[in-house]
Amino acid sequence: MRKIRTGFIGVGGIAQAHLRALQDQDAIEVVAVADISAERAEQTAQRWGIADWYTDYQELLARDDIESVNVCTYNNAHRQPTIDALRAGKNVLVEKPMAGTLEDAIAMTRAAHESDKLLMVGMLHRFKADILMAKAIVDAGRLGDIYYAETVTSRRKGNPGGTFINKETAGIGATADIGVYCLFDAMYLMGWPKPVTVSGIANNTLSKLSEPLLYTPWARWEPDKVTVEDFGVAWVRFENGAVLVFKTCWLMHMDTLGQTFFLGTKGGLKLEPLTYFHQQDGLLIDSVVQELPTPKPGEGFRTENLAFADAVREGKPSPVPADEMLLTNVIIQGLIDSAAQGGREIDVHVPSFD
């Protein structure tokens, strides 16, 4: 098996998780890292036994012996390294969310179309056992046409702080950071319908409280630094007539914002626990899927990177294509823009790259 020689751009928190997951495997060899922090780049190279490190990622991209890059910078720094890498002839695995703004996501998707390289967005849920099982149920036609869904990701006390709460580095807050997971779940299971309108609300009231009423275990409480939303809800209408309600937050005085579920003309489905609802022979049947495998720590990142390397090596399509993930940015931007207009329903547009 040909090893894919890879470089990492941005080696903060999540890059370390990728690099840990890439130990003891034969598919990928990480040969260089780049970070604007020399200290972080050097320490990362030493920690994982990587030969070379740079503070300017262009030096990494100039190397002919590097075939692919992982872009693990903060959201608003996904765009330029991704586009530069594609133009330099590298395949790219860029972290989720695809970008901190819709404009960036469009530019990245266009660059992927203009290159003959592969762009994949890091979306661990694409490899999650319950989501794959749910997708198989939907693809077998058991739900019929999905006409309504709700999708939810929430934390009760989980404002991540750091670069995540700053609009300049993150672009968007909770709705993109963790909301993108449940948005992916819904869009993947619904078959990536085209969104046409969004109405949304968003705020950061709880993160702005001067007292850390909602203790976040892994981040400092810095109300003055929060410039993104920590809560967002959207009502999304699709071209095919279906509707999706999307809810997410980093903080709340509640145990849950609800459940992710799908209503179809022939059956229904909910996640956690994965349950399939239908009627047969005059009976109402609820089938709970049992014994789905639980991944070991780090296994998701390993699976994701190996899927990327396999697609590069074998010339397969991107396992998480830019054209699909772009729709998550269209919806999230719609939520933010609608919220800024008092929650008014607004039209959203999916660009064409033909």
Ligand X SMILES: NC(=O)c1ccc[n+]([C@@H]2O[C@H](COP(=O)([O-])OP(=O)(O)OC[C@H]3O[C@@H](n4cnc5c(N)ncnc54)[C@H](O)[C@@H]3O)[C@@H](O)[C@H]2O)c1
Residues that bind ligand X (CB under 6 A): 9-15, 34-37, 40, 57, 72-75, 77, 95-96, 122, 124, 162-163, 177
CB of 190 to ligand X, least distance (A): 22
Asked if 228 and 162 count as a contact pair (C-beta separation under 8 A), the reply is: no
By C-beta, is 77 or 112 nearer to ligand X?
77
Q: DSSP string spanning 116-155?
A: SS-EEEE-GGGG-HHHHHHHHHHHTTTT-SEEEEEEEEE-
> What's the token pair of residue 94?
């860029």
CB of 52 to ligand X, least distance (A): 14
> What's the token pair of residue 310?
């396999």
By C-beta, is 98 or 146 nearer to ligand X?
98
CB of 99 to ligand X, least distance (A): 9
CB of 288 to ligand X, least distance (A): 27
By C-beta, is 122 or 264 nearer to ligand X?
122
Instruction: Give the helix, strand, coil percentages of the chain, each rounded to 5.
Output: 35, 25, 40
- Residue 292 DSSP one-character state: P
Helix (H) or strand (E) holding 21: helix 13-21
Q: DSSP string spanning 238-286?
A: ETTS-EEEEEEESB-SSS-S---EEEESS-EEETTTTEEEEEETTEEEE
CB of 242 to ligand X, least distance (A): 27
CB of 147 to ligand X, least distance (A): 31
By C-beta, is 9 or 146 nearer to ligand X?
9
By C-beta, is 15 or 249 nearer to ligand X?
15
By C-beta, is 14 or 346 nearer to ligand X?
14
CB of 105 to ligand X, least distance (A): 12
CB of 283 to ligand X, least distance (A): 41
By C-beta, is 54 or 261 nearer to ligand X?
54
Helix (H) or strand (E) holding 198: strand 195-203
Asked if 143 and 216 count as a contact pair (C-beta separation under 8 A), the reply is: no
Measured distance CA(31)–CA(296) in Å, rounded: 26
3-class SS string, 31-55: EEEECCCHHHHHHHHHHHCCCEEEC
Neighbours of 116 (CB within 10 A): 9
By C-beta, is 103 or 139 nearer to ligand X?
103
Cα dihedral across residues 309, 314, 320, 324: positive or negative? positive
